[in-house]
Amino acid sequence: MDKYSGKLAVLCQSLSDKERSQELADRLFVPLYDSVDKSAPESFFLSWRDGCLKLLDKELLKKGGLAVDIEPRNGEQRSWPAPKQDALSQALGRKTKTVIDATTGWGQDSLHIFRMGYELQCIERSPIMSELLRDGFRRLAEQDWMQRLNLESPPLLSGNAIELLNTLESPPDCIYLDPMFPPKRKKSALAKKSMMVLRELLGDDEDKEWLFEAALSATAKRVVVKSPDYAEPLGGKPSESYQGKLLRYDVYLKN
């Protein structure tokens, strides 16, 4: 049997986490370690630390690691529902009620959409990211404000959105896409660590054109595509476009 040479393993450094660490390793079909040295073939590890599931880089094992951040980003409101006053909310539409985020990733846009009061459903095809998201949504559900308002975290579907969008019982008002585009050749600034890790683990979304077509077929009213400002519009000329900082939200209205 060939020696395992994947990029990911589960790291368990506490006896109290042994059972759930083994279950996680079994779900992801990856090895489980109780310690790591430089000879390990993996570059990344999932481990429970500080009350949450974190993704660790082998070079920075003693650092904090990356987890789904359930706190609002700088400039985002903490209130619920938060005011719909930024470029994203304009792109989603004032009359929109139901949204599917078909490329959830680290969940930052999803959580912002959720906090603005939209009825949100999430899709993530990476099993690794799905595990991190489920842990983040678990922590979100435990927040005082969520319990006080009797809110539930967004439902999360794990799988290929191209296939899952074809199985929806009812079409949402809007489908939101934030696919990974190839980076600019000339790097004007270092990418965020979370995006660098995501790209190294998962690569670019080579099938984003098919995803766009699946979203356009599945939506009731509109598809919103988040793109870096240097990228060509994914679906051709958009019906509307809203500019953010170094990015763009292209809106495609369904005829």
pLDDT at 36 over 70: yes
Pick from 3-7, 31-35, 171-175: least confident = 3-7
pLDDT top residue among 40 and 188: 40
What pTM did the predictor assign? 0.90
pLDDT value of position 205: 63
Within a domain: 71 = no
> Based on the domain organization, do 94 and 186 belong to the same domain?
yes
* 233 pLDDT higher than 50: yes
Residue 74 maps to a domain: no
Total domain count, the chain: 2
pLDDT of amino acid 174 = 98
**Same domain for 219 and 93?**
yes
At residue 152, does pLDDT exceed 90? yes
Task: Kindly tell me if the per-residue pLDDT of 52 is higher than 50.
Answer: yes
| Within a domain: 72 | no
Q: For strands 222-228 and 247-253, give the pairing.
A: antiparallel
| 136 and 26 within one domain | no
CATH code at 165? 3.40.50.150
Q: Buried b vs exposed e over 212-251: b needs ≥16 C-beta within 10 Å?
A: bebbbebbebbbbbbbeeebeebbeebeeebeeeebbbbb
Is the residue at 46 inside a domain?
yes
Query: Distance between CA atoms of 69 and 73, rounded to whole angstroms?
Result: 9
Give the list of residues 6+ apart from residue 136 with CB closer than 8 angstroms, or none: 52, 67, 68, 69, 70, 107
Q: What is the pLDDT of residues 157-204, one digit of tens each?
A: 999 999 999 999 999 999 999 988 777 655 544 456 677 777 777 666
Find the domain containing 107 and state its range.
87-253
The answer to whether residue 67 sits within a structural domain is no
Statement to judge: residues 53 and 92 lie in one domain: no
For residue 226, tell me if it sits in a domain: yes
